[in-house]
Amino acid sequence: MFLFSRRNFLAVAVCSCFLSAAPQAAIALDEAEARELVMGVAGDVIALVQSDVPIESKRSELKRLMSATADMTAIGRFAIGRPWNEMSDTQKDAYLSAFTDYVAKIYTSRFSDYKGETLEFAGSRSGKKDLYVLTNFARSGQQPLEVSWRVREIGGAPKILDIEAEGISLLVSLKNEMSGLLSQNNNSVDKVIEVLKTKA
């Protein structure tokens, strides 16, 4: 449609694709471990996309995978930004719960266009604190799409913090979206939580 080039949406969809994985054992984060986590996530999500279950089940399954393999607290905190420090514990819990439901919902839809495509490991690189696992997403008739997964060891286990493809970062997208929501709602965290709940 008129909004984007084809490529933008591939990126969106791929970002949306892989926010989940099998739970992992806890040892020091090395490349093999991060790689296993990421490839596990990929496999699970591809299976989820191709499964023939109702969309509600897909959402709850994606939510489960996300919670198990990504640090939704860190992601949610980053997305909401500065207000986090002034939020009460009750607000934080309510926000994180609504945020996670919301993310699971929108990304379930966004990845459902991408069926039958395969992912392969394409190396890794180290950031300051995090390891970036690179994967190639093979697409028929097009060049493979490179997807980068940001993984950090948190609480003794590797956790996914961000997924990036074609310049589009899941984390940055969610942060932009939350700051848009905040400014549309007079910077009221409670209102944002309400909106997320109605949208989730």
State how far the Cα of 162 lies from the Cα of 150, in Å rounded to an integer: 5
Contacting other proteins (CB under 8 A), which of 48, 80, 145, 181? 181
Q: Which residues contact 180 (CB under 8 A, 6 or more apart)?
A: none
Stretch in the footprint of other proteins (CB under 8 A) among 25-33, 39-47, 56-64, 151-159: 151-159
The number of beta carbons lying within 10 Å of the beta carbon of residue 12 is 21
CA 68 to chain centre: 12
| Amino acid present at 44 | D
Interface residue with other proteins among 22, 122, 134, 172 (CB under 8 A) is: 172
* Interface pick for other proteins out of 60, 97, 136, 169 (rule CB under 8 A): 169
Would you give the DSSP letter of residue 11? H
Please select the residue that binds other proteins; options are 60, 78, 92, 188, rule is CB under 8 A: 78
Point out which residues pair with 151 in neighbouring strands: 131, 160
For residue 112, give the 3-state DSSP assignment.
coil
Minimum distance of other proteins from residue 56's CB (angstroms): 14
Structure tokens at 165: 């493809």
The reply on whether position 60 binds other proteins by CB under 8 A is no
Distance CA 86, CA 80 (A): 11
Contacts with other proteins in 93-112 (CB under 8 A)? 102, 105-107, 109-112
Q: Does 188 bind other proteins (CB under 8 A)?
A: no
Among 8, 51, 118, 187, binds other proteins (CB under 8 A): 8
User: Phi, psi at residue 161, to the nearest 5°?
Assistant: -110, -25
Q: Which long-range contacts does 115-121 make (Cβ < 8 Å, 24+ apart)?
A: 115/49, 115/50, 116/50, 117/46, 118/46, 119/39, 119/42, 119/46, 119/147, 121/35, 121/38, 121/39
- For the bound state, the minimum distance from the C-beta of residue 71 to other proteins, rounded and expressed in Å, comes to 5
Instruction: By CB under 8 A, tell whether 132 contacts other proteins.
Output: yes
Q: Which of 37, 119, 151, 196: binder of other proteins (CB under 8 A)?
A: 196
User: Which residues are at the interface with other proteins (CB under 8 A)?
Assistant: 1-13, 16, 71, 73-75, 77-78, 102, 105-107, 109-113, 127-128, 132, 141, 143, 148, 150, 152, 154-155, 159, 161-162, 164, 166-169, 171-173, 175-177, 179-181, 183-184, 195-196, 199
